[in-house]
Amino acid sequence: MVSAVLLLAEGAEEMEAVITIDTLRRGGVTVTVAGLGGDGPIKCSRDVYIKPDMSLKDAVAKGPYDAVVIPGGMQGSENVAASEEAKALVVEQEKAGRVIGAICAAPAVCLPAHGVGEGKKVTCYPSLEKKFPDGKYTFQPDKVVVDGQLITSQGPGTAFDFALALVEKLVSAEKRKTVASGLLL
């Protein structure tokens, strides 16, 4: 069974979180929503509350996962970037050669903060590209950028493209087509 953990922090962009969770599950990926603040409801960037499946601590104990996914939202990304527990998970994920996905503010805020993805091609919310340290990442202005096991994307409007790229990487190109067709994309 292919698995993913989505890191949900206060201030996360809810569209990116929910679209990614839903699309991955449609693709046959077992998704665990891990709350950085515990397993209680988390207030997202547009005042929508999402209840995680469990706390990040409990989710880490049930790992490893085939993918770690970080939705954007500036405050949510800053909260993930400040979390030592999230950092340990993402660093281990990269060391093990497993998939990391980050969208919107998360690539520009979380990847450099955790020291992962250096030397890779990346994208993020367009106004945040300057947050990447000079010479450590190669920014590309594309909706989705896949560089090895790192998948990055620009924002809410690219969430389906992002999630489908994750389905393709984790399951297959055929499954991506099937899921996209079912979603009328």
pLDDT in tens, 49-99: 999 999 999 999 999 999 999 999 999 999 999 999 999 999 999 999 999
Q: Which helix (DSSP H) or strand (DSSP E) does residue 86 occupy?
A: helix 84-95
* Per-residue confidence (pLDDT) for residue 16, from 0 to 100: 98
Domains of the chain: 3-182 (3.40.50.880)
**DSSP 3-state of 43:** strand
Phi, psi of 94 (to 5 degrees): -65, -45
Average pLDDT over residues 109-138: 96
Pairing mode of beta strands 30-35, 3-8 = parallel
Mean pLDDT of the chain: 98
Strand order in the sheet with 54-55: 54-55, 30-35, 3-8, 67-70, 99-103, 150-153, 144-147
Q: In a 3-state reduction of DSSP, which class is residue 52?
A: coil
Quick one: DSSP state of residue 133?
P
Q: State how far the Cα of 150 lies from the Cα of 132, in Å rounded to an integer.
A: 15
The C-alpha R_g of the chain, in whole angstroms, comes to 15
